[in-house]
Amino acid sequence: MSSQRLPTRAGELIDRSTSLSFTWNGRSFSGHEGDTIASALAAAGVEVFSRGMKYHRRRGILTADHWDPNLSVQVGDEPNVRAGSRRLVDGMQVSAQNAWPSLRWDLGTANQLVGRFLSAGFYYKTFMRPQFLWHNLYQRILRKFAPGGRVHWKTGTHGDYDKRYAHPDVLVAGGGPAGMAAALSAAEAGASVMLVEQEPELGGHLRWGGPDDLTVLADLREALYSTPGIEVLCDSIVTGRYDHNWVAVMQRSHPVVPERLIKARVGSLVVAPGLVERPYVFAGNDIPGVMLAGAVRRLINLWAVKPGSRAVVLSANAEGDAAVADLESAGVAVIAVLDARAGEDIVQVRGRGRVASVQTGDGRTLKADLLVTATGWSAPTSLLNMAGDRPVYDKVAARYFPQSLPDNVLATGGIEGDGSTAELAAHGRETGALAAQRALRLRHERRTQTARSVRPESTPPASVPDNRIPLRRSPHPECYRSTTHGLVDYSEDISSKDLIQAAGEGFDSIELMKRYTTVTMGPGQGKLETVNAAAVLAEVRALDLADIGTTVWRPPFSPVSLGALAGRIFEPVRRSALQDWHEANGATNLLAGQWVRPDHYGDPMAEATNVRENVGLIDVTPLGKLDLRGPDVANLLNLVYVNRWQKLEVGRVRYGAMVTEDGVVSDDGVTGRLADDHYLMTTTSSGAGAVWEMLEDWLQTYRPDWEVHVTPVTGGLTSINVAGPRSRDLLERLVEDVDLSADAFPYFSVRTGTVSGVQDCIIWRIGFTGELSYEIHVPSGYSLHVWESLVSSGSDLGVAPFGIEAQRILRLEKGHYIVGQDTDGLSKAPTAGLGGLVKLDKADTIGLPELRAAFERTDLPVLVGLQPDDPTIVPEEACQIVAAGSNEILGRVTSSRMSPTLERSICLAQVDPSLASAGTSVTVKLVDGRRITATVQEHHAHVDPEGARQRV
Amino acid sequence: MSRHGYKYSAGRLLRHGLTRDAWPRMWRRPERRDSYDVVIIGGGLHGLATAYYLAQNHGITNVAVVDKGYIGGGGSGRNTAIVRSNYLTPEGVAFYDRSLHLYNTMATDLNLNVMLSRRGHLTLAHTDSALRTMNWRAEVNKLLDIDSAVIGPAEVKRLTPSLDVSPDTRYPILGALYHPPGGIVRHDAVVWGYARAADHLGVHLLQETEVFDIICDGGDGPDGKGSGGRVTGVRTSYGDIGSPVVVNCTAGWASLISNMAGVPLAITTHPLQAAVTEPCKVFLPTVVVSGSLHVYVSQTDRGELVFGASVDPVGSYRVNGTLEFTEELAGHVLELMPGISKMRLMRQWSGLCDMTPDYSPIMGYTSVEGYLVDVGWGTYGFKAGPVAGETMAETIATGRAADLIAPFTIDRFTAGDLVGEKGAAAVGH
Amino acid sequence: MIVVPCPNCGPRNSSDLRNAGEVVARPDPATTSLTEWRSYLYLRENPAGWVTETWYCRSGCRRYFTIERNTSTNEIRESESS
Ligand SMILES: Cc1cc2nc3c(=O)[nH]c(=O)nc-3n(C[C@H](O)[C@H](O)[C@H](O)COP(=O)(O)OP(=O)(O)OC[C@H]3O[C@@H](n4cnc5c(N)ncnc54)[C@H](O)[C@@H]3O)c2cc1C
Ligand SMILES: [Zn+2]
């Protein structure tokens, strides 16, 4: 390998005073700052960068830019890096991806021998039999051949990524002459502008142009950086345009994070991505040394790399002619220029590992190591497609053009038409001005739309018509395929022959063809390949390209790392004000929805027993709490709960259950009346948000005449349940102004009072655990004080905290069901045993007609208390209840625990109504397959069904 | 050798390789007839499978499958092709299990390798209530002889080493429902297999033919549509086609078609999105689903990760996708597999899902004579395609609803007898 | 991320709001028939085009309001009934 670095070039990007060292497949190399990985390697004489996916043929530089399908490499732990655009960094470890054991000796080349049998879709036509071999053998082999790099899933971490929101009036995608001019004029018109360029520097094709181009570029760049209101982002790609001009930009070269996702709400999007040069289809078009004109121009002018020594050029346009000049200036012998405009052609390239000879259309064979093609461009219309456009093919210009764009998306530059640098810039300027005008109108309109924002002082900018002078469309020969067959898709190894075969088999629409052959489905997503594929199809079907259509471009425009899309992962948890105390006191946590809370403090059975015998404390803050005020609260409660609420007196609480409009039990809890117009509602922990929104919905859209104010206070009030026979004794030591005696403060009532010096605590007497118990709702700022006072004042009473697990045991002993556990998405009120609660004669209740219908039915499952006959067996929750002699399902265990109080297993279960009467013996199938018998109980409650313990 | 019934095999592949002879077409571009015995609207998997079984099992071959685009261009060509039968309700399990059986022998039945890969399907549980639902599903499954069990984190790690099963994550993996026969299949191949076989039996595949109206008479609504009427044909972009039987197999567009017959549906259409990464060397052996994180992932034989999620929260007929889908997706996937953050998302797309209130399909006869529906397939209809086709064909041929579809009648909504699949289907697909 | 105009808060990202679906009139539960009730519960027009729907300004002013949205294009306009 000899150095291919040329003497200094006028527009070169490399800084020759620097030397960056890196490795390529383990060998040391060096390059300069400004080099891409590919240019540094090419300068060092490297010619083969990868292997083809299917046949593992050697691949070299084709386009020398971001879209080069042959330049995907592994860099350290990063797979599929585009060596054609990624700038070299000191210390990079670069390796080839698609070769084993090495890029030089790749065993996959064996596939070349059987290539003729691996035609399009071959795998659909074989391996059908025997069935098991497909999965056990063939598929495994296929998976071994998967292309692409290696992801370090074992050692990788998410890393640091970031996101940013932006609101530019105008966002310009593409920093070539048209894009730069558009950004300038938009800013001059008063718009805030973001200019996004995918390369590390502005200029587009001007960068590798002649002295005039370089002068224009310098002037434009100078103007851009000195005009206020323009943010220039280089090494950044606009990856998507979504509804309402929500635009995604992936920013690289950020000083802090490797990649940053910018989400921009854009007034006007100006699409100026230039054009993508298209490969030519002919035999041998994937042999290293076949390059596009743009590739050699970039290599020579940007990185001072000599692309070969003897070149043949096939030129259909000025770019090809310019390439000839560049090649000559770089000392490459141009031995033949074939003019496609005059009908000249090439038909085949031969060579092993490097072009050796070129066969021309007129039958000559020329010795050369470089074949350069300039056969035209494809318009990268992705962003326009995402904006709803369906670009149309123009036969004369031999490429696609935008058809109809929404007002807030404008196109300029090469994607719009052809012109001199001056003409492109002029079109850009007009487009920028128009984009700014529209964006400023929109900004004005948004301001006026916002009821509470300060009205804009000015009048809206006038709407201006689109008077831009369109760019012309220069004629260009339609050069897609020579008379021979070659690759259409380099990343997928698909030839024109494969496509023709597919069309013959009935896959003769572009979408079906794509799916059958996988053409355009590789990492480039068809940037280089789509039009050639469509052209081959047009050829087979003897249609015009215009009648073939193309596949639909989808985001992202260029692949985006998962890390950058995720950004910083922000998944907060909610903690009660007491959570630190719990953790300091031995709690083992449990994640329950958004909340983290103590599952237990070491021994849940002991915690439960302590509640039955002494007194326990549990933090039930996640319980949803809604403060309701206003004269119509009772009406609201009457509407949303299945029971009746008009007669609830001040100082009393009541249990209520809710159903949805289709009659399914959705939430429950107690609600207390604190004052005439003031109630506190509690909901399930998981239902807190939904119930709140539901109340607002009914109040706003159904009964706006009702005066009720709903305030969620779930986190504002810390809820502490003090439960156990000695709970009253404990509270009497701390509560100052409430008479706690049984007569003065009976079961199911509420008082407001001072607890341990903290005023306005709401105390209600209810009993989820089945014991005498009080739930205290304390303003959260003071709750730690109250909790600690309870703990310290009750040491002689045996006070101890208990967690969720003990509470679950206790409530199950008591037979209280849990919505969503003992009921499910189909459970109606009768199933939950709400027969006594529901009032069907109300004028209105959510789900009333369904409630009525449900109580007419006799086939609904019934929730029952259940006890296994063997008291030592605790059937796992969700075990099925089955017919004794068969697998017919007759119900399921919804809750189960070992009861410390009864020292036996206890359950709640949903059963078929035929099994619901007390004393019925049922069969439970355990997880391990054993079948046991269990007996239906008279009550849901296993302990104290009369409720004597809680009424003391 | 006739064009029809051309058998694929390794031998054929060899012969074509040697002779370079052209392969025959998989299906024709047929001449349209003025009328058919059965017109099926929708050339997705359901429409094609229905046509195939009508011809294959019942000898009814004067059938047209009409599609406004190309075959498989709807959900059938956009889905993530997860097949499984570990549903929650016995009626669901029985139905999907039959479908898996049909998938098992499909490659030979249809003489096309559909690349069924029963690689194992894991539904992760991150909370104890999720674990309870998994147990419920596993227990129902076992009773119905479905290979399904709840496994712990260590076993999850053994099956899928790239998952982070440490207990201190925001969404710890407490266990998973493991369904060894679950897996993926090559969706396009399934569609083409049925298309080719149906065409071979004489069915007409009318592509690029849009249905604008359903012609009815005698119904209680305008133009003779609606309850009590009967169907006489369809109006298409190529003119009217007569038929006494019209079947709606249009998934995301089901409401639009059904409204043409005056039969409103309990359906809202929501986009469902999916995405795929650039290929990387294969490291993910199973299909992994997380309901709480609204994400599922599998790796194709080409090395791409295929991701899906739950439906977009806002109903629409738009299929251009959203950025927030990819952001949430990436965040959630990295919760499960923090090591893959340098993989790049290459393409996102979206399809339309016909969501019903109980996450179950609507199948069979309607109040309009001759108008049948096979819709409401939501996010899970691909795996059901074969059995839906088989049972719909039986229903049409015999004049009475096949047993397996009895729970899924259109009447269940007015009867208030919904199916209880919600818990199992939400992200499960 | 579409922009939804809240009558109070102005245009906002849809992630700040919740879509509550097509507006359907609720029959009077006192007089309705089950068939009518279940049509209200389950049957939807589900058009490909303009639909009147409810949104909830979840992270903003918490107002429920209706707008019209085109389900084929996501264009939004003021609803006559709001
Ligand atoms: C992203 C995504 C992922 C999914 N993942 C899975 C999965 O993993 N597993 C699973 O089981 N399911 C999955 N599904 C669901 C599954 O894809 C669908 O339920 C299934 O494909 C429906 O098949 P179908 O044949 O009924 O409808 P489709 O395949 O949608 O076919 C309907 C056809 O009707 C045609 N049509 C519509 N209107 C008209 C008209 N007026 N005239 C003529 N033709 C018309 C359309 O062009 C279309 O081809 C997923 C769906 C999506 C979108
Ligand atoms: Zn608001």
- Give C2-66 as a DSSP string: -EEEETTTEEEEGGGSEEEEE--PPPPTTT--HHHHHHHHH-B---SSEEEEEEE-TTTT--EEE
Asked if A820 contacts C7 with a C-beta cutoff of 8 angstroms, the reply is no
Asked if A293 contacts A205 with a C-beta cutoff of 8 angstroms, the reply is no
- Element at A637 (helix H, strand E): helix A633-640
Looking at all shown ligands, the one closest to residue B308's CA atom is 1
- Which domains are delineated in chain B? 29-112+187-265+358-425 (3.50.50.60), 121-181+268-355 (3.30.9.10)
Q: Is the pLDDT of residue B123 over 80?
A: yes
B339–chain C Cβ distance below 8 A for any pair: no
Q: In the predicted model, what is the mean pLDDT of chain A?
A: 94
Which of A852, A881, A888 shows the shortest CA–CA distance to A866?
A: A881
* Ligand 1 atom nearest residue B354's Cα: 19
Query: Does the distance separating the beta carbons of B344 and A561 come in below 8 Å?
Result: yes
ipTM of the complex: 0.96
Between residues B329 and A526, which one has the greater pLDDT?
Answer: B329
Residues near A345 by Cβ (< 8 Å), separated by ≥ 6? A314, A338, A360, A361, A482, A483
Q: How confident is residue B107, by pLDDT bands cut at 50, 70 and 90?
A: very high
Which pLDDT score is estimated for A56? 87
% of chain A with per-residue pLDDT over 70: 99
- Lowest-confidence segment of A70-74, A382-386, A524-528, B234-238 by average pLDDT: A524-528
Q: What is the 3-state secondary structure (H, E, C) of A782-809?
A: HHHHHHHHHHHHCHHHCEEECCHHHHHH
Instruction: Map residue A185 onto helix, strand or coil.
Output: helix
Give the one of A153, A824, A889 whose C-beta lies nearest to B339's C-beta: A153
Ligand 1: which of B39, B40, B67, B99 to mutate, most ligand atoms within 8 Å of CB? B67
Q: What is the mean predicted confidence (pLDDT) over A819-836?
A: 93
CB atoms closer than 10 angstroms to residue C80? 8
- Which domains are delineated in chain C? 19-78 (3.30.2270.10)
Residue bearing the CA closest to ligand 1, atom 48: B74
Ligand 1: which of B114, B206, B379, B427 to mutate, most ligand atoms within 8 Å of CB? B379
Say what the alpha-carbon torsion angle A555, A558, A563, A567 is, to the nearest 10 degrees.
Answer: -60
pLDDT per residue as tens digits for the range A727-758: 999 999 999 999 999 999 999 999 999 999 99
From the candidates B220, B260, B314, B323, which should be mutated to test the interface with C, based on the most C CB atoms within 10 A?
A: B314
Which pLDDT score is estimated for A299? 98
Q: How confident is residue A1, by pLDDT bands cut at 50, 70 and 90?
A: low
Asked if A721 contacts A806 with a C-beta cutoff of 8 angstroms, the reply is no
**C-alpha of residue C16 to centroid of ligand 2, in Å:** 9
Q: Is the pLDDT of residue A143 over 90?
A: no
- The C-alpha atoms of residue B301 and residue B289 are separated, in whole angstroms, by 19
Which pLDDT score is estimated for A463? 84
- Lowest-confidence segment of A514-518, A653-657, B260-264 by average pLDDT: A514-518
pLDDT per residue as tens digits for the range A902-939: 999 999 999 999 999 999 999 999 999 999 999 999 99
Q: β-pairing, B230-236 with B211-217?
A: antiparallel
pLDDT per residue as tens digits for the range C30-65: 999 999 999 999 999 999 999 999 999 999 999 999
Q: Give CA separation, A634 vs A411, A539, A628, A676, in Å.
A: 61, 76, 10, 10
Residues near A211 by Cβ (< 8 Å), separated by ≥ 6? A10
Which of A871, A856, A881, A864 shows the shortest CA–CA distance to A931?
A: A881
Which of A182, A277, A170, A270 shows the shortest CA–CA distance to A223?
A: A182
Give the one of A78, A662, A929 whose C-beta lies nearest to B342's C-beta: A78
* Ligand 1 atom nearest residue B252's Cα: 30
Which pLDDT score is estimated for A458? 75
Between residues A459 and A725, which one has the greater pLDDT?
Answer: A725
CB atoms closer than 10 angstroms to residue A329? 12
* Residue of chain B whose Cα is closest to the Cα of C46: B268
Which of A366, A400, A365, A395 shows the shortest CA–CA distance to A385?
A: A400
Residues near A117 by Cβ (< 8 Å), separated by ≥ 6? B13, B14, B16, B17
Which pLDDT score is estimated for C32? 95
- The C-alpha atoms of residue B99 and residue A196 are separated, in whole angstroms, by 50
Neighbours of chain C (3+ CB pairs under 8 A): A, B
Q: Is the pLDDT of residue B423 over 60?
A: no
Q: How confident is residue C82, by pLDDT bands cut at 50, 70 and 90?
A: very low
pLDDT per residue as tens digits for the range A221-266: 999 999 999 999 999 999 999 999 999 999 998 888 889 999 999 9
Which pLDDT score is estimated for B112? 92
* Ligand 1 atom nearest residue B388's Cα: 26
Q: What is the mean predicted confidence (pLDDT) over C52-79?
A: 95
- The C-alpha atoms of residue A128 and residue A124 are separated, in whole angstroms, by 8
**C-alpha of residue C65 to centroid of ligand 2, in Å:** 9
- Which domains are delineated in chain A? 15-107+279-374 (3.10.20.440), 162-275+382-449 (3.50.50.60), 480-556 (1.10.10.1100), 622-714+817-849 (3.30.70.1400), 858-952 (2.40.30.110)
pLDDT per residue as tens digits for the range B156-176: 999 999 999 999 888 999 999
Asked if B81 contacts B116 with a C-beta cutoff of 8 angstroms, the reply is no
- The C-alpha atoms of residue A798 and residue A125 are separated, in whole angstroms, by 76
Distance from CA of A909 to the nearest CA of C (A): 29
Which pLDDT score is estimated for A99? 75
Which pLDDT score is estimated for B422? 65
**C-alpha of residue A36 to centroid of ligand 1, in Å:** 44
Give the one of B313, B317, B324 whose C-beta lies nearest to C48's C-beta: B317
- Using a CB-CB cut-off of 8 Å, the residues of chain B touching C72 are 316-318
Looking at all shown ligands, the one closest to residue B44's CA atom is 1
Query: Does the distance separating the beta carbons of C22 and B268 come in below 8 Å?
Result: yes
Which pLDDT score is estimated for A137? 76
Q: Is the pLDDT of residue B265 over 90?
A: yes
pLDDT per residue as tens digits for the range B321-348: 999 999 999 999 999 999 999 999 999 9
Which pLDDT score is estimated for A37? 98
Give the one of B326, B329, B347 whose C-beta lies nearest to A525's C-beta: B347
- Element at A349 (helix H, strand E): strand A346-350
* Residue of chain C whose Cα is closest to the Cα of B258: C45
Q: What is the mean predicted confidence (pLDDT) over B115-130?
A: 93
Give this prediction's pTM: 0.95
Q: How confident is residue A833, by pLDDT bands cut at 50, 70 and 90?
A: very high
Chains A and C form CB pairs within 8 A to the count of 61
pLDDT per residue as tens digits for the range A421-461: 999 999 999 999 999 999 999 998 888 877 767 777 778 88
- Lowest-confidence segment of A135-149, A900-914, B277-291 by average pLDDT: A135-149
- Lowest-confidence segment of A363-367, A678-682, C75-79 by average pLDDT: C75-79
Q: What is the mean predicted confidence (pLDDT) over A162-178?
A: 97
Which pLDDT score is estimated for A15? 97
CA neighbours within 13 Å on the CB side: how many for B255? 25
Which pLDDT score is estimated for A715? 95
Which pLDDT score is estimated for C81? 56
Q: Is the pLDDT of residue A117 over 90?
A: no
Phi/psi at B206 (5° precision): -100, 95
Q: What is the mean predicted confidence (pLDDT) over B37-56?
A: 98
Query: Does the distance separating the beta carbons of A927 and B135 come in below 8 Å?
Result: yes
Residue positions counted in chain B: 429
Instruction: Map residue A513 onto helix, strand or coil.
Output: helix
Give the one of B259, B267, B324 whose C-beta lies nearest to C1's C-beta: B324
Q: Is the pLDDT of residue A519 over 50?
A: yes
Residue positions counted in chain A: 952
Give the one of A388, A449, A693 whose C-beta lies nearest to C5's C-beta: A449
Q: Is B119 left (phi over 0), alpha (psi -120 to 50) or beta?
A: alpha
Which of A555, A560, A488, A543 shows the shortest CA–CA distance to A518?
A: A488
Q: How confident is residue A128, by pLDDT bands cut at 50, 70 and 90?
A: confident
Query: Does the distance separating the beta carbons of B264 and C39 come in below 8 Å?
Result: yes
pLDDT per residue as tens digits for the range C1-19: 999 999 999 999 999 999 9
From the candidates C2, C3, C69, which should be mutated to test the interface with A, based on the most A CB atoms within 10 A?
A: C3
- Lowest-confidence segment of A679-683, A725-729, B6-10 by average pLDDT: B6-10
Burial label for A792, CB within 10 Å (0-12, 13-18, 19+), is exposed
Kindly state the tokens that stand for B314: 């806002």
Residues near A562 by Cβ (< 8 Å), separated by ≥ 6? B277, B330, B333, B334, B340, B341, B342, B343, B344, B345
Query: Does the distance separating the beta carbons of A450 and C9 come in below 8 Å?
Result: yes
Query: Does the distance separating the beta carbons of B279 and A562 come in below 8 Å?
Result: no
Q: β-pairing, A162-166 with A260-265?
A: parallel
Q: Give CA separation, A7 vs A158, A325, A675, A920, in Å.
A: 43, 16, 91, 97
Q: Is the pLDDT of residue B243 over 90?
A: yes
Q: Is the pLDDT of residue B3 over 60?
A: no
Q: What is the 3-state secondary structure (H, E, C) of A47-91?
A: CCCEECCCCCCEECCCCCCCCCCCCEEEECCEEEEECCCCECCCC
Neighbours of chain B (3+ CB pairs under 8 A): A, C
Burial label for B400, CB within 10 Å (0-12, 13-18, 19+), is exposed
- The C-alpha atoms of residue A827 and residue A804 are separated, in whole angstroms, by 24
B416–chain C Cβ distance below 8 A for any pair: yes
% of chain A with per-residue pLDDT over 90: 85
Which amino acid makes up residue A218? A
* Ligand 1 atom nearest residue B350's Cα: 1
Instruction: Map residue A346 onto helix, strand or coil.
Output: strand
- The C-alpha atoms of residue B307 and residue A180 are separated, in whole angstroms, by 38
Q: Is the pLDDT of residue B429 over 80?
A: no
From the candidates B7, B113, B144, which should be mutated to test the interface with A, based on the most A CB atoms within 10 A?
A: B113
**C-alpha of residue B307 to centroid of ligand 1, in Å:** 17
Measured from CB, residues less than 6 Å from any atom of ligand 1 are B 41-47, 66-69, 73-76, 78-82, 210-211, 249-253, 257, 272-274, 308, 351, 353, 377, 379-383, 429
The three-point CA angle A332-A338-A343 to 5° equals 170
Looking at all shown ligands, the one closest to residue B241's CA atom is 1
Please name every residue paired with B121 in a beta bridge, in sequence order, or none if there are none. B179, B287
- The C-alpha atoms of residue A869 and residue A924 are separated, in whole angstroms, by 11
